Amino acid sequence: MNDSFKPIIKLIDVSKAFIISLGKFKGRHTLQAVCNVSMSLFTNEVVGLVGESGCGKSTLGRIILGLSRPSEGQVFVEGRPMSKENRFAISSMIQPIFQDPYSSLNPRKSVGSILSLPLRVHPFTDCAKIRPKVEEMLDLVGLPRHSYRSYPNQLSGGQRQRVAIARALIIHPNVVVCDEPTSALDVSMQSQILNLLIDLRKQFGLTYLFISHNLAVVEHLATRVAVMYYGRIVEEAKTEKLFEHPQHPYTKALLASVLTPDPGLGLPDNCLIPNFASSMEIPAGCAFEPRCPYSMAVCRNKIPKLQKGKYGRVACFMCN
């Protein structure tokens, strides 16, 4: 079989729970951040992961990075269980670009030191080639070579994010997890960073997991989109299909909530029932049921499975 049809990352029934304190006399509670997620990332594709804040997107990203172990389920990297891989093997294959370039870079280290560190900690690196490699990467991300001696506080937000991108790519990983990489930047800088990510993907043949709440950015960048709600993937489809033919009521609500540039149209109406499920008391059935305008009796007692629909995979009794 062609390698392009083999998943480079595969998640099977992955869940992640956290034990949190409710207060001094109230005991503890289990918070289910990710629930039975099964998905795959294939070579040279961009999977957009969207959903509201707190739905588990970043937790899932950390699991894929190997920074957080799943409570249940398995993660496979090129067919091998991630749990059996050492940290160097995982980091050489999967790298992150975090949301905030102001906090993701060590302010006490120069740019040269920040970009050199990934090369120095991997034992296969020729130390004599580190400086030329760093300067080459600075060129690729559009930073002048004199930035080598600069410190993060001497750079703009966009330049810091370019440094973060260079740090992620300097050891040539196969997969990059981009966790809201443009949300801390102004609009003009966002477009520059997005175009840079597109160019670098083509140049290095990268696979991106692009975590975002900005649907316009995801539509522009992603080849496939997964929609997450309360720790579960509720819909997954190719980008054009999902935006043209959303199936799940939550996906429809997300697309309907996007603001338009025409002030005469007023605020969008997503038609959701204003009844949020608590993260502490998720319903026994579909987590979206308390807000769904199409709720049925079965939705309150049974969790819908993510199954093949007309345009992709969808977890909804109305669609299956």
CB 236 within 8 A of CB 39: yes
- Going by pLDDT thresholds of 50, 70 and 90, the confidence category of residue 1 is very low
Nearest-CA neighbor of 141 among 160, 128, 120, 122?
160
Q: Of the ranges 216-225, 269-278, 290-299, which one carries the lowest mean pLDDT score?
A: 269-278
DSSP structure string for 53-111: TTSSHHHHHHHHHTSS--SEEEEEETTEEGGGS-HHHHHHHEEEE-S-TTTSS-TTS-H
**Cβ atoms within 10 Å of 89's Cβ, excluding its own:** 15
Which of 116-120, 221-225, 261-265 reaches the highest mean pLDDT? Answer: 221-225
pLDDT greater than 50 at residue 81: yes
Helices marked H in the chain — which ranges?
Answer: 57-65, 87-93, 111-121, 130-140, 157-169, 187-204, 215-221, 239-244, 249-256
**pTM summary value:** 0.90
Give CA separation, 255 vs 53, 248, 315, in Å: 16, 11, 17
| 80 strand-pairing partners | 77
Separation of alpha carbons 215 and 257, rounded Å: 10
**Domain segments of the chain as ranges:** 3-222, 241-320
Separation of alpha carbons 250 and 298, rounded Å: 17
pLDDT, tens digit, for every residue of 278-302?
566 677 899 898 888 888 999 999 9
- Going by pLDDT thresholds of 50, 70 and 90, the confidence category of residue 115 is very high
What's the topology of domain 3-222? Answer: Rossmann fold (3.40.50)
pLDDT greater than 60 at residue 2: no
pLDDT greater than 80 at residue 230: yes
Separation of alpha carbons 143 and 310, rounded Å: 45
Strands across the sheet with 72-77, in order?
Answer: 27-42, 7-23, 72-77, 80-81
Supply the pLDDT for residue 263: 55
Supply the pLDDT for residue 126: 76
